[in-house]
Amino acid sequence: ASQHLVVVNHKAQKLPQVVRGGSEGGAHDGLFDRVLCDVPCSGDGTLRKDFKVWDKWTPLFGLRIHRLQEQIAMRGLSLLRVGGVMAYSTCSFNPIEDEAVVASLLRRTRGAVELVDASAMLPDLKRGPGFTAWKVIDEALREFATFEDSQKSSVPKRRRALFLPSMWPPTKKELKKMPLERCLRLYP
C-alpha cells in the first residue's frame, strides 16, 4: 500500500473530488502530480490479436465513445496539479479516439495545457508521429468533410446526434498551436 497512489473503480468522468488531509477544510483540485487516463475505446488496435473484434467492428464505435473519452480526459486534467503530467491512452488506431480528443483538450483548456514532446524520454520506443489530419466517416464509409456536412437533413437524425465538432481535425491555424505530431502512435 502507498499513500501516494490511488487506484479506483468508478465512472472516471465523474470521479469524486478527493480531499487532501492536513489542511483546514481540505484541498480539492490539483491533487495529483501524475494522471493516467487509459480510457475505454473501440479496441480496433487489438485486431491483430483478437480476431473477434473484426466481426463486430464498425466506424460507429469511435463516434459513440468520443464524448466519454473527452469527459474522462477533462476530469483527469481537473485533478492534475499545475506542472503535473497526464498521459492519455487508448488501444485504438482511430484518430477520432486519439488525436481528436487531444486536440479537443487543447482547445478547451486555451493554453493552460501543453502537449509535450516525450520522444527524448523514450528514445528506443518504436512509434510513429501523431496524425494532424484524418477523415470522419460513418458506418457506410461516407466521408463528412465538416461537422456541418454531418448535420444535413440527408443524414438520419439519430446518426447526426453521434457527430461532435471536436471529431474533425484542427484547422491549419489551430495546428500552429497544437503540435499533434507529438502524440505517440505505438504499433504492435
Would the pLDDT of 26 be above 50?
A: no
Q: What angle do CA 48, 54, 58 make, to 5 degrees?
A: 125
Would the pLDDT of 2 be above 70?
A: no
pLDDT tens per residue across span 63-87: 999 999 999 999 999 999 999 999 9
176 vs 47 pLDDT, higher one: 176
What DSSP string runs through the chain? --TT-----S-GGGPPPP-BTTSTT-B-S--EEEEEEE-----GGGTTT-THHHHH--THHHHHHHHHHHHHHHHHHHTEEEEEEEEEE-S---TTTTHHHHHHHHHHHTTSS-----TTTSTT---EEPPS----B-TT--B-SSHHHHTSTTS-HHHHTT--GGGSPPPHHHHTT--GGGSEE---
Active site residue 91: yes
The pLDDT of residue 172 is 95
Q: What is the mean pLDDT of residues 136-162?
A: 95
Q: Which of 37, 41, 91, 183 is catalytic?
A: 91
The proportion of the chain whose per-residue pLDDT surpasses 70, expressed as a percent, equals 90
This prediction's pTM? 0.90
The pLDDT of residue 174 is 96
Q: Band of the pLDDT at 156, cuts 50, 70, 90?
A: very high
pLDDT tens per residue across span 78-127: 999 999 999 999 999 999 999 999 999 999 999 999 999 998 998 999 99
The pLDDT of residue 19 is 65
Q: Band of the pLDDT at 1, cuts 50, 70, 90?
A: low
CA-closest candidate to residue 34, choices 74, 93, 83, 73: 83
The pLDDT of residue 44 is 87
Total number of residues shown for the chain: 188
Name the residue with cell 479506483: 8
